[in-house]
């Protein structure tokens, strides 16, 4: 899918104008409904996984109520059931921002995710429509939300990003070793002193980088996530701790690779029940002092 440079430039201008009007924190979720967001549910990946055709739910069609607003622990929250794979996405794109969001796990798991780590994700710099990557996700970067893997990176679709990384490991880092003793493929781990490494969906490094350390709260407790996006750089923060710094985000536009500095924000449904609250954003011109290097 081709996205002209003009499309990205126009998105930046619209975003800048919208954010200049209010320099304070402002909510992205109104606490009553999903106004300001769209939804997308992919064809039934459980059926697809079993070689069947599946039921394409598509855009803004959520017959099972996967995305709902409820009161949880006395506060309004977005309840994502986890049934089906897809995203809820801001209508508005953003550039140069500080985003805060609280998340905690529910109990339900669905389909082939039963028996696996609970999984979700915060997608940012989303370009174009969902349904590109694995028939589900947009072109974007992912701030991973998965048990023991909060803060990992995935570069999805035609995006790529540079992270200082060194040694290899078989995540999830904090998870018990499976009964068969195998942890799966090896991945590079974020290391502030490591070599700049390009992560993209091709060899030799692939599109996943593992966070610095496991900062997830115990199951059933809320986690505070913070995402800082400034130009083509970003920072993943879990419960007050920087777990990854990313640089030089880019996207392939036909034969060109250009800086990726803006996009929409999405929250995933990926086979596990979870809750989000306290979703708020503010524009920035520099990295907040407490997270500056």
Flag whether 293 is in a domain: no
Does residue 199 have a pLDDT over 90? yes
Count of C-beta atoms within a 10 Å radius of residue 226: 20
pLDDT bracket for residue 190 (50, 70, 90): very high
% of the chain surpassing 90 pLDDT: 73
Q: What is the pLDDT of residue 23?
A: 73
pLDDT confidence bin for 181, thresholds 50/70/90: low
* 291 occurs within a structural domain: no
What pLDDT score was predicted for residue 14? 46
Average pLDDT over all residues of the chain: 87
Split into its structural domains, the chain has a count of 1
Residue 119 reports pLDDT greater than 60:
yes
Which pLDDT score, from 0 to 100, does residue 43 have? Answer: 80
Q: Is the pLDDT of residue 182 over 90?
A: no
At residue 169, the pLDDT reads: 60
- 148 part of a folded domain: yes
Strands 208-210 and 187-190: parallel
Q: Is the pLDDT of residue 9 over 60?
A: no
Residue 288 lies in a domain: no
Contact 84, 42 (CB under 8 A): yes
In a domain, 243, yes or no: yes
Per-residue pLDDT reduced to its tens digit, 255-290: 999 999 999 999 999 999 999 999 999 999 999 999
The domain of 203 spans 5-283
Tell me, yes or no, whether 290 lies in a domain.
Answer: no
* Model confidence pLDDT, tens digit, residues 204-239: 899 999 999 999 999 999 999 999 999 999 999 999
Long-range CB contacts (within 8 A, 24+) of 196-203 = 196/162, 196/163, 196/164, 196/247, 197/162, 197/163, 197/164, 197/165, 198/160, 198/161, 198/162, 199/153, 199/155, 199/160, 199/161, 199/162, 199/163, 200/155, 200/159, 200/160, 201/155, 201/156, 201/157
Residue 115 domain-assigned?
yes
Predicted TM-score (pTM) of the model is: 0.87
- Average pLDDT for residues 180-197, to the nearest whole number? 80
At 48, the pLDDT band (50, 70, 90 cuts) reads low
Report the CATH number that the domain containing residue 192 is assigned in CATH.
2.60.120.560
Report the percent of the chain where pLDDT is more than 70. Answer: 82
Query: Across residues 79-88, what is the average pLDDT?
Result: 95
Q: Does 57 or 161 have the greater pLDDT score?
A: 161
Q: What is the per-residue DSSP string for the chain?
A: ----HHHHHHHHHHHHHHHHT--S-EESS-SSS-TTEEEEE-S-HHHHHTT------EET--TT--EEEEEETTEEEEEE---SEEEEEESS-B-SEEEEEEEEEEEEE-GGGTTS--EEEEEEEEES-SSSBTTTB-EEEEEEEETT-TT-EEEETTEEEEEEEEEEE-S-TTSPPPTTS---S-EEEE-TTSEEEEE-SSTTT-SEEE-SS--PPPTTS-EEEEEEEETTEEEEEETTEEEEEEEEEEEEETTEEEE---BEEEEEEESEEEEEEEEEEEE-SS--GGG--
> Does residue 289 lie in a domain region?
no
């Amino acid at each position: 899918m081709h996205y002209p440079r003009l499309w990205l430039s126009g998105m930046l201008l619209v975003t800048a104008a919208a954010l200049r009007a209010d320099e304070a924190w402002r909510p992205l979720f109104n606490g009553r409904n999903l106004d300001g967001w769209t939804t997308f549910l992919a064809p039934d990946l459980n059926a697809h996984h079993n070689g069947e055709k599946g039921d394409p739910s598509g855009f803004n069609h959520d017959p099972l109520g996967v995305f709902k607003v409820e009161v949880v622990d006395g506060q309004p929250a977005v309840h994502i059931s986890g049934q089906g794979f897809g995203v809820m996405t801001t209508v508005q794109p953003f550039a140069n921002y500080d985003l805060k969001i609280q998340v905690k796990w529910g109990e339900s798991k669905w389909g082939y995710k039963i028996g696996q780590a609970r999984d979700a994700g915060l997608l940012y710099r989303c370009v174009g429509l969902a349904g590109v990557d694995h028939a589900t996700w947009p072109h974007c970067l992912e701030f991973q939300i998965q048990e023991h893997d909060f803060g990992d990176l995935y570069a999805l679709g035609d995006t790529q990003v540079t992270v200082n990384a060194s040694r290899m490991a078989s995540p999830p880092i904090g998870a018990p070793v499976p009964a068969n003793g195998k942890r799966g493929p090896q991945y590079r781990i974020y290391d502030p002193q490591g070599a700049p490494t390009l992560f993209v969906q091709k060899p030799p490094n692939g599109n996943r980088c593992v966070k610095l350390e496991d900062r997830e709260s115990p199951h059933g407790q809320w986690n505070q996530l913070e995402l800082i996006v400034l130009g083509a750089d970003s920072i993943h923060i879990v419960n007050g701790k920087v777990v990854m710094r990313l640089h030089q985000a880019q996207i392939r536009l036909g034969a060109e690779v250009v800086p990726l500095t803006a996009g929409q924000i999405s929250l995933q449904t990926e086979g596990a029940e979870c809750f989000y609250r306290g979703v708020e954003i503010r524009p920035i011109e520099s990295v907040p002092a407490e997270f500056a290097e």
